[in-house]
Amino acid sequence: MVPEVFLRSWKREDARQLAFIANNKNIWNNLRDSIPYPYSISDAEQWIAHCSRQKPLLNFAIIYDNLLVGSIGCTAKTDVYRKTMEVGYFIGEPYWRHGIATSAVQILISHIEKEFDVVRLVAEVYAHNKASMNVLHKNGFYLECIRRKGAFKNDVVVDDYVWVKFLKK
């Protein structure tokens, strides 16, 4: 039997495993600088506390084969962009290439469609992260634009790929 991917709310006892998978330079290279590196248990505890105050829930633990293997969530845009939600995720490196991110994004999309009044999803991906672009493509996102020299990561100016999916509303 193939292990199932599912999303659940964060729990305090997830802190050690979250710190273990997030404290990885290969993961951090694909994330925004607001996520610390190195990533400590204290960082994980602060994140979990933040998520526990969310109403409604926006961020989830990704569970695969009964293990916490990643994080996924969404951020509501505001003002004239209030019908748009940004999606972000990461999978711990030992769990790459198992289709987990593809399944987790699909589950998050279903959650967003049921719980939120949005018509557009967006995800931003650095040029080097082809695997994440693949995940988005498999979930019906299309490449809307490439913001040339749109981000500054690891002391380098990089292209930022903007992927979009329209929801049926």
- How many CA atoms does the CB half-sphere of 74 hold within 13 Å? 29
pLDDT tens-digit profile of 29-86?
999 999 999 999 999 999 999 999 999 999 999 999 999 999 999 999 999 999 999 9
pLDDT tens-digit profile of 118-158?
999 999 999 999 999 999 999 999 999 999 999 999 999 99
How many C-beta atoms lie closer than 10 Å to residue 26's C-beta? 10
Quick one: how far is CA 78 from the chain centroid? 19
Among residues 84, 61, 56, 57, the alpha carbon closest in space to that of 72 is found at: 61
> Residue 97's pLDDT is what?
94
Domain ranges across the chain: 5-166
Q: How far apart are CA 97 and CA 95, in angstroms?
A: 7
> Residue 168's pLDDT is what?
81
Strand ranges (E), 12-155? 59-64, 67-76, 84-91, 120-126, 142-153
- Torsional sign, CA 165, 106, 62, 129: negative
DSSP, collapsed to helix, strand or coil, labels residue 153 as: strand
Q: Is the predicted pLDDT of residue 1 greater than 60, yes or no?
A: no
Instruction: With beta carbons less than 8 A apart as the criterion, state whether 101 and 123 touch.
Output: no
Q: Decide if domain 5-166 falls under CATH 3.40.630.30.
A: yes
pLDDT tens-digit profile of 11-26?
999 999 999 999 999 9
Q: Is the predicted pLDDT of residue 90 greater than 80, yes or no?
A: yes
> Residue 72's pLDDT is what?
98
